Structure 1
């Protein structure tokens, strides 16, 4: 905060009242080993930004360069007593304030509406007057949180364009049927091949399982089938070939083995019958040839007696005819058995095909049941998440207070401080509390490594007005005085700060989202106090913050 001596003071005071770093009037003066004075904040900033910071007072005097060190500096209470009676005036542009140093240091310096400060939104860094901060945070800051007009998600203004490219509720036009204003999340269902309602959605060819991978508009399937009939027949032939090759690999191996054994047995029987029939046919042929030969011999022979030879040859002939009849009967019988075995073989092949079809259906049923089980697992997981959210909400309600005062216990403080220093988690919120059962809903937000102009040197503590169930019954904007207290667990010196809300700020209007923009004290407490051996602001890795809201004039 810039401040200068008035004309009256300039006439009788020397430069000893000015900081050798910022060249403005001293605030919380610190004297170094070389005798020069600095504002405490300027001194802390100088030694934290450089490895070997040099004293500017020594440089101006061309004397020996002194390296600033915290161990070789002390609080200059003597000069502070002198400053208490000095009149000063604010040097911020457009500010007409003047008064004594105490008023300037304790009140005006941290509240001057024309003081240049950094935007409190992380990543912005724009320097503006304090009086313009609320308008900047509400309307101009690129890092301000704004709700998406489609899904109502709160985002940084600079991220909105990128968000709209992936927003699940952003309206887009179907690339197939040109139907407009379909939510991005609904587009998948709209063009779904099985359950979609797009009139020109792409569906897989009905020969997909046979190898045709074309996606066809739903009203062009017949045209596709006609155009690709040859390809589909080739796919069908290939599928049949593959089916034949894999028919032996069936789920019920035992039945398959039995059928294979039966088929092999029948094939062997058929082979034996065929050989037997061929043998019989050969024997019959041979017997017929023998009969013809004997008849020829009888007719042409004149060496034997007619009566005896004829009688003998007739017996032989009769015997041969009987044998021929028996062989022909056996041949008919074997042909019948062969026909029966052929029929049984065909039945076995049919049973084998039916078994393979049943195995395929069983496999499809198992896959369907597995998909249903996975769907049930997803539903159970969602239920678990919902139950966890309900448990968190119940726990929050159990810890809530209803008298406008809340003591916030911050456990595991060292880890949270490391997260803030590393940027992993720069801030976190307190549990919510209320001014009464039907009153304002509020919480606090703390930055353990500071925010805005307090970043890296102060703890920043902010007050947040939240959307409640009874906001319609309450008076707006929020006007109640808010007091922050960091409790010294040794009960020596608590850190206390308070403010009254600015009625024109959007932070204290009736909330339209879950919570308003946080507002409060970016310079609530110097980081150096956290490790102070005289105090116990953190003890046993636990800190206590108290947030009190004045409820005396709430209707």
Structure 2
């Protein structure tokens, strides 16, 4: 949405509160790198439509033209704090509300009963005041849901009348008996000719088989027969005439004669087939009798028996010859196999010598590759260290805040405290944080066993200015108020200390190294207080330290 209309303010708004694009009061204000302010929606729509735009403020001021991208859209919290304290009034007709800009944006604008809204149903979309929306949805909206009183299905009010015309539970009137309590889904069963219970349902006319299609009330069947007696007689006459014509055709002499001739021809054909069958049977009997007679020799053996014995001998001789041929073939095959095996043995011996030579070459090649792998492992180890540093840097950037507030979660507290007492790791640094996207870069440093005057008896907490990318554009020395808080997880009593930087201290000058010398509170909290049963400064081996930098006077 564009900005708010200017007359929302009780008093005339200053120019710094107006959007350069829509010229209205800033809604969700943002500030570009060149210092001009826009409504977030106005600037996003302009940038997203073309990818980049020229800053309108720079064009008006005839300065260099800034090219704005989506990355240049940053919230302007400073101007938002000023806007939040300005008195505004509601612009909806009939609403007399007045209050602060913050209260209007966060509450009244979305809840004002006099605001114009649309009906939530798509095909209605009527407009009304918000306070009238409930009554509209319950009583007037044509798309409001209603329940059918007959089938309990939910339909819209607009469709309720058409639904009644097809509702299966809707009571209808029987057109024959006049009953009014029959459901639409059961009317067909009620009027069924066989199983229906309608006492006045129509039945077919008695002359249906001869062509009368009338359906008649069974109490009026006699009246119907009397009224249509002439039509019924004509229907019967037509049927009788048709039957007589068909009988006359069947009695025609020419047809009978054709049927008789056909029957005689079929009878003669059957007799001829029977005669042929008899002849074939006689021939078959004669052939069988001729084969049954057998001649006998002097030795008592018949000729067929001798032939059978000779056939068996021939078969045995043939089998022996076949076996001899197979054995000869196998012997020749075995000789060939032995020769091939001898050749293969000689070939294998030569192959063994070749493989031994190749094995020596392969061993030399493997040793060379192992040396290369060791060199690559060293390179990979260096790369792993670089990647670990990059991962640490990326993690720090992900955890960084840009509103001047650091909420530092210190995990594994007991281990880190033990390291501090033993001198292994005397201090630890927090993730870095910023006063804004292009503001001061800072971090916190904590000595869990104390430092300086607090060594061995206090927890020491220090604040450190770090070297940032935009230090050249910032005001030096650093002058913002710093508040240090150790959070009580029981929400009873936080440990709080605050200080304003000393402009003459080198700790707050523009950094020339990665970070300045830390400055803060060496006697921040007694060590005995960490274990206080009334408080939960450490719970589940986790502690929380909060650092707040006052950014109210930063632009």
TM over 0.5: no
The structure whose Rg is larger is 2
Which of the five TM-score ranges fits, normalised by the shorter chain?
A: 0.3 to 0.5
TM-score normalised by the chain length of structure 2: 0.35
Kindly indicate whether structure 1 or structure 2 has the higher relative contact order, using CA contacts under 8 Å at least 6 residues apart: 1
Give the alignment's TM-score, normalised by structure 1: 0.35
